[in-house]
């Protein structure tokens, strides 16, 4: 139980349904959908689409999503990969010949075909109850009438606005200025796009005037995209992969997501007596940092689009985890493993919903960098993500850029089962941090007995790009001890990631947790 003398958040308890996400308007919209007779999938889709209006620097119709969900009455977990593919004409060789060592982040070359709209439409049709008209209506209303800008959103907007270009500045600034906290942001052209999707489904986005606008914009700045690339876009139903940490089963998306990294990290950590350590002390932070370096090095070598990933079984092997654990010294930090590219970033939204019948949805949605590529379509203002920056340009690499291929993705929704029963949909935002965040969140609960809210609230650190990024919550003594072990410490400008979770107990009570690092909340009824 938290200390009520100190600032903090209480968990939220309810029985009929719950949503936890990074913006209150989206959480409230999801609950409204549940009260109207929609199920968890309806609520998650409605809330996710609205997040693209409330947090346009993080997500939008020009982005990708991944979803894990458990239908009512079962403990089965299904997956849906809503990430798009590179244009058929995309070529790593062409970029190498132009002198690039990595995909240029804010260029048309970084724009893969957005997959989220297809995913939302498909999941609503196959697993929802209310239909697109009802699910998109709240986002249409808010896009038309406006949303007051929340504090964390305003902070991120200011940080990322420099990357907006052309029509992106027209549609995502208020008269050329970054919106301030409490200032209303409107996006009526997004309302137009959503009305067309509500009327004609996914085809309204992937063909016709919206697709023509997107293709013309990208081609005008050198993109290889054509109308067939958009028309051919389809999401993929997937079967989750899983691993067990001290009796708790973690389910993740298979590649092209990086969920296997979290599993490898937990398998490495299982070789250490984490529960005997101070949860906020230097020893735990050191072991976690060293395991992170090793797990991420494996990720960088192995993970790619499903058809191109090699040796996934090695990442999931407990024998490999034991070998890696033996490389960790308790007395000395090792050099950092190499980053995949400079493109690993943090801008993502997450929403989880559980309904009265205990259908649970774990949905993560992103345009990658702040405001994605910074490129928006000229007529409708669809802001394109830059997920293609997650490709490698190394000749022969499993994740090498190629036409029709999906890049390695950082965004990963999570789901937990215990004793065969689904107990928690959860997600940790934060780009490359996400596997480390999944492992730390689970370890906080399993090794230290924390409730989900406390597990989210604890300070975070992340070994990345040669430094150990440590939030302000760590004590000076802990930071000095880590420095003495050879870690190069850096306090990040922004907090590390964000998280949302809903625990489903066996007595019918839902417990929601929401990260103070974001503007959002958990709401139940």
413-469 per-position pLDDT tens digit: 999 999 999 999 999 998 899 999 999 999 999 999 999 999 999 999 999 989 999
CA nearest neighbour of 49 among 39, 41, 60, 57: 60
CA nearest neighbour of 13 among 312, 354, 286: 354
Of residues 112, 292, 341, 348, which has the active-site annotation? Answer: 348
The predicted-structure confidence for 122-175, as pLDDT tens digits, reads as follows 999 999 999 999 999 999 999 999 999 999 999 999 999 999 999 999 999 999
- The pTM (predicted TM-score) of the whole model is 0.96
pLDDT band at 344 (very low <50, low <70, confident <90, very high): very low
Q: Give the model's pLDDT for residue 236.
A: 97
At a CB cut-off of 8 Å and minimum separation 6, what does 311 contact? Answer: 302
- Round to whole Å and give the CA distance between 413 and 403: 26
The two tokens of residue 505 are 């107990």
Q: Give the model's pLDDT for residue 307.
A: 87
Average pLDDT over residues 86-92: 97
- Round to whole Å and give the CA distance between 430 and 436: 10
CA nearest neighbour of 294 among 317, 263, 254, 328: 328
- Round to whole Å and give the CA distance between 155 and 5: 28
- Cβ–Cβ under 8 Å, residues 235 and 80: yes
CA nearest neighbour of 201 among 136, 113, 139, 127: 136
pLDDT band at 345 (very low <50, low <70, confident <90, very high): very low
Which helix H or strand E contains 14, and what residues bound it?
Answer: strand 12-14
Indicate if 348 belongs to the active site: yes
Distances (CA, A) of 83 to 116, 174, 210, 379, 444: 7, 30, 19, 24, 30
The two tokens of residue 268 are 């490495």
Q: Give the model's pLDDT for residue 160.
A: 95
The domain locations on the chain are 25-237+346-390
The predicted-structure confidence for 200-253, as pLDDT tens digits, reads as follows 999 999 999 999 999 999 999 999 999 999 999 999 999 999 999 999 999 999
**SS3 of residue 88 by DSSP:** coil
Round the average pLDDT of the chain to a whole number and report it: 95
- Helices 318-325 and 282-302: crossing angle in degrees, nearest 10, is 130
For residue 427, the number of C-alpha atoms closer than 13 Å in the C-beta half-sphere is: 30
Say yes or no to pLDDT of 500 above 60: yes
The predicted-structure confidence for 271-324, as pLDDT tens digits, reads as follows 999 999 999 999 999 999 999 999 999 999 999 999 898 889 989 999 999 999
- Round to whole Å and give the CA distance between 81 and 240: 10
CA nearest neighbour of 126 among 192, 194, 202: 202
């Amino acid at each position: 139980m938290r200390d009520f003398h100190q600032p903090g958040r209480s968990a939220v308890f309810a029985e009929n349904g719950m949503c936890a996400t990074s913006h209150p308007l989206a959480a409230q919209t999801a609950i409204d959908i549940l009260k109207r007779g929609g199920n968890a999938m309806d609520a998650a889709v409605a809330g996710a689409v609205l997040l693209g209006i409330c947090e346009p620097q993080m997500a939008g119709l020009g982005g990708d999503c991944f979803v894990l969900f458990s239908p009512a009455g079962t403990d089965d977990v299904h997956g849906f990969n809503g990430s798009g593919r590179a244009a058929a004409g995309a070529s790593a060789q062409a970029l190498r010949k132009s002198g690039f060592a990595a995909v240029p982040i804010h260029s048309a070359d970084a724009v893969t075909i957005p997959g989220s709209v297809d995913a939302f439409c498909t999941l609503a049709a196959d697993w929802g109850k209310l239909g697109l008209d009802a699910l998109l209506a709240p986002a249409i209303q808010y896009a038309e009438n406006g949303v007051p800008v929340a504090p964390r959103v305003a902070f991120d907007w200011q940080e990322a606005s420099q990357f907006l270009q052309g029509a992106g500045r027209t549609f995502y600034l208020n008269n050329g200025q970054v919106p301030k906290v409490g200032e209303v942001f409107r996006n009526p052209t997004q309302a137009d796009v959503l009305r067309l999707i509500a009327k004609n489904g996914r085809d309204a986005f992937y063909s016709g005037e919206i697709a023509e606008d997107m293709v013309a914009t990208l081609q005008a700045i050198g993109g290889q995209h054509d109308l067939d690339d958009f028309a051919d876009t389809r999401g993929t139903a997937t079967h989750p992969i899983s691993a067990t940490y001290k009796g708790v089963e973690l389910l993740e998306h298979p590649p092209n997501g990086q969920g296997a990294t979290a599993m490898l990290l937990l398998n490495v950590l299982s070789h250490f007596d984490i529960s005997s350590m101070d949860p906020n002390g230097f020893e735990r932070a050191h072991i976690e940092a060293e395991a992170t370096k090793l797990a991420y090095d494996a990720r960088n070598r192995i993970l790619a689009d499903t058809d191109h990933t090699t040796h996934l079984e090695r990442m999931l092997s407990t024998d490999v985890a034991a070998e890696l654990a033996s490389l960790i010294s308790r007395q000395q930090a090792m050099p950092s493993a190499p980053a995949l590219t400079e493109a690993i970033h943090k801008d993502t939204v997450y929403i989880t919903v559980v309904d009265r019948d205990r259908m649970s949805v774990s949905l993560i949605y992103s345009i990658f960098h702040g405001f994605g590529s910074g490129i928006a379509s000229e007529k409708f203002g669809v802001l394109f993500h830059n997920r293609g920056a997650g490709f490698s340009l190394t000749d022969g690499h499993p994740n090498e850029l190629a036409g029709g291929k999906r890049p390695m993705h950082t965004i990963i929704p999570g789901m937990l089962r215990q004793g065969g029963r689904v107990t928690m949909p959860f997600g940790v935002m934060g780009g490359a941090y996400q596997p480390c965040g999944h492992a730390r969140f689970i370890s906080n609960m399993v090794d230290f007995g924390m409730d989900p809210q406390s597990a989210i609230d604890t300070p975070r650190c992340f070994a990345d790009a040669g430094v150990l990024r440590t939030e302000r919550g760590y004590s000076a003594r802990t930071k000095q001890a880590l420095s003495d072990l050879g870690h190069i410490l850096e306090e990040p400008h922004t907090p590390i990631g964000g998280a949302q979770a809903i625990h489903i107990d066996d007595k019918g009570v839902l417990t929601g947790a929401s990260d103070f690092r974001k503007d959002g909340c958990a709401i139940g009824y």
